Amino acid sequence: MRKLEIMKKSYDNMCIPGELSIRVQQEITKSRQKQEENRNAVGCRRRKRILFGMETAAAAVCILFTAALNMSPVFANEAEQLPVIGGLARILTFRTYEAEKDDIAVSVEIPTIERIAEETKVTVDAINREILARCNQYAQEAVQRAEEYRTAFLETGGTPEEWEKHNINITVGYEIKQHGSDYLSFVVRGSESWTNACNESRYYNLDIETGEIVTLKELLGSDYIELVNRSIREQIDERRRAGETFFSAEEGGFSGISEEANFYINENNRPVIVFEKYEITSGSAGEVEFEIIV
């Protein structure tokens, strides 16, 4: 049924009213405020639990925690989730901050890698510095973009009240993909609530033994590009048969990976190639992943 495909396309291209994101954001803000009230009500209990968790952790690490990190609920959650002493390296929230100016809300959570075994002499400082610089730069640029949007909005007849309702949010954060005994894999993301155009994701894969960034070449050998391309093409064919759509070559679909392809290492220690939204298929599919099995 080719007609169904044509319909699917026009469905995917349906125009979305701008009001949608404003109304969705409204609900989220409303809900967040409610959450905040609830949290304040149980605030005392929460803090106690954090302290309890800390006591059970190694004392030395405890000092490091309090010295280097902001105490935040987010951090508390992460600490609950990760084994306190696991591999040789782990990831921590280095700093979090939230700011608001001109009704542009910024929330930043910058990760940092920490070596647990100091004597191995491997440093990850360079990577940490890069992450920090990247996060700060993204946040700064995003605020600038939002400010430009605000100026344009006000100059074209928008009122400050209407602007406030836009609830512009800028978020920088990270997500751990794998924290195993061999690799540490995570992604740092920056996003803006009002546009998808400038979202940024950067993947980091570390060999826990050496503290070095792992490349696809190291994982798959020197003909990795060919290998990965073949595997992805096969998987695309397979998924097409299962009913998924991908852009064709003329539509700007998959045309082979570059040396800088985004990937993370999953719990099976296999690389997973990630394509950004809109990269090889319609936006509705979001990010698309391919596990490469050799």
* Site residues, another protein (CB under 8 A): 1, 3-4, 6-8, 10-17, 19-21, 23-24, 26-28, 30-31, 35, 73, 77, 80-81, 191, 193, 243-245, 283-286
Q: How far is Cα 266 from Cα 230, in angstroms, rounded to an integer?
A: 20
Closer to another protein by CB, 90 or 216: give it. Answer: 90
**Least Cβ distance, residue 284 to another protein (angstroms):** 5
Cα 275 vs. chain centroid, distance in angstroms? 13
Closer to another protein by CB, 21 or 128: give it. Answer: 21
Closer to another protein by CB, 42 or 67: give it. Answer: 42
**Least Cβ distance, residue 180 to another protein (angstroms):** 19
Q: How far is Cα 112 from Cα 75, in angstroms, rounded to an integer?
A: 12
Closer to another protein by CB, 16 or 51: give it. Answer: 16
Q: How far is Cα 171 from Cα 153, in angstroms, rounded to an integer?
A: 21
**Residue reference for tokens 């993947």:** 203
Q: How far is Cα 233 from Cα 125, in angstroms, rounded to an integer?
A: 38
Residue 281: count of CB within 10 angstroms of its CB: 21
Closer to another protein by CB, 4 or 249: give it. Answer: 4
134 class by beta-carbon count within 10 Å (0-12 exposed, 13-18 middle, 19+ buried)? middle
**Least Cβ distance, residue 207 to another protein (angstroms):** 27
Q: Phi-psi bin for 192: left (phi > 0), alpha (psi -120 to 50), beta?
A: beta
**Least Cβ distance, residue 205 to another protein (angstroms):** 22
**Least Cβ distance, residue 2 to another protein (angstroms):** 10
